[in-house]
Amino acid sequence: MTTISLPGFEYVRLPGATDGVELAAAVGGSGPPLVLLHGFPQTHLMWRHVAERLAAEHTVICPDLRGYGASDKPEATDPDVYAKRTMAADVVRVASALGHDRFALVGHDRGALVAFRAGLDHPETVTHLGILDVVPTLDMWNVLQGVQAAVAYHLYLMAQPPGVPEALIGGSADTFFGPFLDAWAADPKALPGPVRAEYLRASAAAVPSIVADYRASATIDVTHDQADLDAGTQLAMPVAVMQQDWGARLGYDAAEVWRAWAPDLDHRLTRAGHFMAEEAPDEVADMVRELLKR
């Protein structure tokens, strides 16, 4: 259970897409539904500033992804358990349990990959799609080249077969997770001590499921993305992407990558760091508002 909550939000547990799996979610505000999905190594708490800004206009739903935070952490008995397809179906099921058959969806980092898959798999359900600081899984592996790929060493570590990553990370979880929180924030004050401690606590309690989530992105998620690419499947809804200028750092055109998947695209760069929802909540909230007008 989280040690910090979103003020004014109700906390509920709702069924996921597979038998017996429940997701924890914070729900607040009123109006058209908007689901916000967190990234790594975080929980729904990363949306605390953005959710507050948008709750006056929307029913805001902030779940912990399966395997993270206060949500269930099923054992990865097969690749589907943490496939983004399954995690996307979780989100659809959670929204449906709250009475919403259609909703806007915004995701950051890992949550953005889940949101991307939800947009492809459930175009009749996801009305608008917002993405923060990723490219799709298939493209992510394609753009990581040479020594510059060292920035994503954790992707390669957690892609290894079961056993080694879990043991290495679990042996000193704070040593593993802490540097991401420190290095990826352009403004360290955006992650105050109690919030940082909550992220570390939640991550240390979820090492096997976090690794399984990442391992899926080196296996079954690639298969699903490639199948959609081969079929010419694209995102049917308006899409907004905000990210750091990773293209300049790694030598690719991020807007072009996204345009191949999203014909109705608003792509924008930010000077905020990776944790932009916490570093620049007004900028992120404005992007979401503009997206929902399209």
Is 34 part of a structural domain of the chain? yes
Catalytic hit among 64, 72, 109, 228? 109
- CB of 76 closer than 8 Å to CB of 70: no
For residue 106, the domain's CATH number is: 3.40.50.1820
* CB-based burial, 100-118: b 16+ in 10 Å, e otherwise: beebbbbbbbbbbbbbbbb
Is 5 part of a structural domain of the chain? no
State pLDDT tens for residues 47-73. 999 999 999 999 999 999 999 999 999
274 is catalytic: yes
Is 2 part of a structural domain of the chain? no
Q: What is the domain count for the chain?
A: 1
Lowest-pLDDT range, 81-85, 115-119, 185-189? 185-189
Handedness of CA 97, 102, 104, 109 (dihedral sign): positive
Is 1 part of a structural domain of the chain? no
Is 4 part of a structural domain of the chain? no
State pLDDT tens for residues 97-121. 999 999 999 999 999 999 999 999 9
- CB of 109 closer than 8 Å to CB of 214: no
Nearest by Cα to 25 from 41, 42, 2:
2
Instruction: State the pTM of this model.
Output: 0.97
Q: In which domain, by residue range, is 237 found? A: 10-292
Is 217 part of a structural domain of the chain? yes
Is 219 part of a structural domain of the chain? yes
19 is catalytic: no
Is 3 part of a structural domain of the chain? no
